[in-house]
Amino acid sequence: MVNVLKAKKRTSTKRSYLRSLREQGGIPAVVYGYQTDNTPISIDNTEFIKLMRDVGRNGVIQLDLEGKKINAILHEYQEDPIKSDVIHADFLSVDLSQEIEATVRIELTGEAVGVKNGGVAQQILHEVTVTAKPDDLPEVIAVDISGLDIADSISIGEIRGNYSITINHEDDETIATILTPTVEQESEDGEDVSAPEEAEENKDTEEE
């Protein structure tokens, strides 16, 4: 199934025009890359959001630029810091037969043994750069941490063989680790136990 997003050429970059475009439900964008000059375009916000939900962040779409069909992926986008609306998008035109470099989000799955034993899972690496053909780019890279105990970690080298794509990171780069729980010493009534030096200091102050 071809995922099509209609686009129109933009003739203006003035702030007033862009504001008006957004108010009318459009998104200013640009497309560039394989056999495509840097071209300012506009797309419909509702259609864009729906398509991204369907194909994912790295999915290949077909831009219908006034009759010209362009295979592309969403390269970058900008959001309004207050409303979280998409206010600009960059599309990269691609050759489906050639590998490209892209960023893929890492998602931790499973409940680690160490977490069940009181540890805390800490994700060090949240995304990776990969090389693959456009149609082979995954939406996310799922990393199972269920086998990790306290003080264990998992690195790039341990997941590399699970994927046919090239992960452009060193094998020893840590993805996630299980931290040792921090235990605060408390007295029987729930109050913190003072250190000996502090207790002695308080006693001397009272005697004065």
Tell me which H or E stretch contains 46. Answer: helix 45-55
Nearest Cα to 131, choosing from 173, 101, 170, 175? 101
Nearest Cα to 126, choosing from 147, 144, 110, 104? 104
Per-residue pLDDT at 1: 64
Name residues whose C-beta falls within 8 Å of residue 186's C-beta, 6 or more positions apart in sequence.
Answer: 192, 193
The answer to whether 104 touches 127, Cβ cutoff 8 Å, is yes
Longest dimension (CA), the chain: 91
**What tokens appear for 84 in the block?**
């979280």
pTM score above 0.85: no
What is the per-residue pLDDT across 82-121, written as a single tens digit (0 to 9) for each?
888 999 999 999 999 999 999 999 999 999 999 999 999 9
The answer to whether 134 touches 94, Cβ cutoff 8 Å, is yes
What is the per-residue pLDDT across 151-200, written as a single tens digit (0 to 9) for each?
999 999 999 999 899 999 999 999 999 999 876 544 445 555 444 444 44
Domains and CATH numbers, the chain: 4-96 (2.40.240.10), 101-179 (2.170.120.20)
Q: How far apart are CA 63 and CA 47, in angstroms?
A: 12
Residues of the chain with pLDDT > 70, as a percent, come to 87
**169: exposed, middle or buried (Cβ count in 10 Å: 0-12, 13-18, 19+):** middle
Average pLDDT along the chain: 89
Number of other CB atoms surrounding residue 178 within 10 Å = 23
Edge to edge, the sheet with strand 120-123 lists 120-123, 174-179, 153-155
DSSP, collapsed to helix, strand or coil, labels residue 106 as strand
